[in-house]
């Protein structure tokens, strides 16, 4: 993850971004918080290419991802 990716995450609080993870997962995530101190991001999962690794619940919980697991971040424009 680059400084540009970090800036995009911080500018995207309460917005949806595309996150590409180092393990190949691609997700759309609504960002809630970005912590430079803890080096992680709290998000709601909108969609993912690895659905099987997420438990299905009636109410979706927020998730946490460490900066080190993020390959890069892209802005997402819904159509």
Residue 18 pLDDT > 70: yes
pLDDT digits (tens, 9 = 90+) for 53-65: 766 766 677 899 9
Mapped to the 3 state alphabet, what secondary structure does 24-52 carry? CCEEEEEEEEEECCCCEEEEEEEEECCHH
> 33 pLDDT band (50/70/90 cuts)?
very high
How far is residue 32's CA from residue 56's CA, in Å, rounded to a whole number? 20
Domain boundaries, the chain: 3-75
For residue 67, the SS3 value is: helix
Residue 13 pLDDT > 60: yes
Q: What pLDDT sits at residue 52?
A: 73
| Prediction pTM value | 0.87
Sign of the torsion angle spanned by Cα atoms 22, 36, 52, 29 = negative
What is the average pLDDT across 9-38? Answer: 96
Place of tokens 């430079």: 36
Q: Tell me which CATH code domain 3-75 carries.
A: 2.30.30.100
């Amino acid at each position: 993850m680059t400084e540009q990716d970090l800036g995009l995450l911080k500018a995207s609080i309460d917005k949806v971004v595309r996150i590409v993870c180092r393990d190949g997962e691609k997700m759309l995530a609504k960002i809630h918080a970005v912590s430079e101190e803890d080096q992680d991001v709290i998000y709601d999962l909108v969609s993912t290419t690895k659905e099987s690794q997420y438990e299905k619940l009636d109410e979706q919980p927020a998730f946490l991802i460490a900066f080190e697991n993020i390959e890069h971040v892209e802005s997402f424009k819904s159509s």
